[in-house]
Chains A and B, each alone.
Chain A
């Protein structure tokens, strides 16, 4: 992998060295200490009750050719006190971009997001999930890619070639929150003989028709979500081994924006091993602006998540309902509070989360998060996280 990044670096530097005229350079970033407090005793003695870590990200951007060419490098790093798997470095971005009118070419490492819903991001497929950063699968690893996009009156088309596969990051034996049986990434298996070198392909069409924002996606290649197979570690203790299958996926994401109401739907059809199945999620988001004659807003989100396969060990969200409330103060400090719960309609298992955020002064941002898992039966994929309720405090200094 290091070799492939070095290749991209060489290309990018060659491109950057080309133009003679002076460009524009920007340098930004943050450093963020974090404290995590776990409410229960861990299932393994080596897992801590309290954990500290430090994360940092810098972004160097260089634009030239009147902004039509650019190079962006965004390395991210976390140092974790207990978990050597959570201590990691990732290039979130390392890309060269060239814009020619309605066309855009990109090569390097980048993050691409597809989708419209809030609780789960079903159709989002380009990037691998950084599970050690967020159990809710919102943080992503940089993906090596070459892409071509065009914006036309009939819509936007993006084509992606993804020459290198990134494995999902999982917490190590000392990490929390984590599965009771540790995941052994040293034994990772692939369906494709090319393993990480399998070249994946993705395409997307998107357009806006009045109140409708519509997207269609296609993906063919290594599935981002591994199947976890029980096995034994080299020392003979039970572990879970990730297995990455080849998938074919067609997806759609649709949003209608009508007044203060947003109506959202994401659906996909996937072929994986001998299975063919559908998944869907959809719901509403409604915002009450100017709550009680104050400048603050209250947003309400309700979504349903469905998997044609029914309850299964691969997907904790097979017949689940999400309800959430987002309060935004609209003050100088951008204070906000987001709370929500996902309830499994089959088992009543509940995953609750709350996030509070506030800017302090001009350059600091405080965020406090709480995650609670309740009522997971042994059959639920989240059962294993049941004893990992936690409170997390982060204070970022931006520069």
Chain B
């Protein structure tokens, strides 16, 4: 009897404490409960899952992006596009995205629709506005450059936990924050990388820096993510992504703006029919 009541009291106490903090408390508890440093694989996976958990529920989003490509001589070229995305929750599915180019002007209206998968190749359609043609395209070109930039298609696709295996390396300061440094290896086919090293901050669990190692395991590129802003009290988005290629000395800067969430986008907005009317 006394055992039951004390258990009840403890449960009630837990609920009372947890309720006002809800999501945050649950999340924090999990973060504190990271597997020990003696289990680097489990710890690395838990960090990735934590990043993923904190981003759940964003639903759908729209944003504008500017991309500035710089070559070794400092010459620049600019692209502008609008991005729409839809969160998918089924375990074998990645998120859906639709991007529409606005600049350079000769590719204005060109659009790319992606229904991402976890390990299977994504379903991808390209819309060519001059001939009004929707073309299903091969998505095995993961390592190819995205519109001539230093971002590969795979750098640009949605980050899903199941795409990699993980290994925690160390914790270390990163700027004003502390970061978990985790190595991840792509499990999907056709990747241009043997591994990536990701610096994830220990406060908000957002990636701050990623090193990309090529197929010969040499450091190829470094991505720095900054200007994080919080949306709807829940979703962090980096607004400045700077990719440097150490081999060819070229760089690409992505700048995001006009983020909007929960605009009511549905599957119909990510169909090949919608692709034809994209703008």
Tell me the A residues contacting B by CB distance below 8 Å: 26, 28, 30, 61, 63, 67, 70, 97, 99, 101-102, 104, 111-113, 115-116, 138, 149, 151, 156, 206, 208, 213, 255, 257, 259-262, 287, 289-290, 295, 297, 330-334, 359, 362-363, 365, 396, 398-399
Contacts and interface: CB of A to CB of B under 8 A. Distances in A.
Contact of B78 (A104, A113, A362): A362
A26 B278 CA distance: 13
Interface residues of B, number: 37
Interface in B138-172: 138, 140-141, 143-145, 147-148
Nearest to A158: B273
13 contacts: A99-B277, A113-B131, A116-B135, A151-B271, A156-B272, A289-B144, A290-B192, A332-B69, A332-B77, A333-B148, A334-B107, A362-B104, A398-B108
Contact of A287 (B107, B108, B138): B138
B92 interface: no
A272 B123 CA distance: 38
Nearest to A101: B268
A201 to B, nearest CB: 20
Most buried by A among B103, B121, B132, B147: B132
Contacts of A297: 141, 144
Nearest to A257: B136
Given A151-B268, A255-B136, A295-B145, A332 B71 contact: yes
Nearest to A255: B136
Contact of B144 (A208, A290, A334): A290
A149 B273 contact: yes
Nearest to A157: B273
> What 7 A-B pairs have minimum CB-CB distances, sorted nearest first?
A398-B105, A102-B268, A332-B148, A289-B141, A365-B106, A151-B271, A111-B132
Contacts of A115: 133
Contact of A113 (B69, B121, B132, B145): B132
Given A257-B136, A290-B143, A363 B271 contact: no
Interface string B48-68: 000000000000000000000
A359 B132 contact: no
Contacts of B133: 113, 115
B104 A363 contact: yes
A76 to B, nearest CB: 11
Contacts of A398: 104-106, 108
Contacts of B21: none
Nearest to B103: A362
Contacts of B140: 259-260, 289
A334 B148 contact: yes
Contacts of A149: 273
Contacts of A99: 277
A378 to B, nearest CB: 33
B272 A206 contact: yes
Interface in B231-279: 266, 268, 271-274, 277, 279
Contacts of B16: none
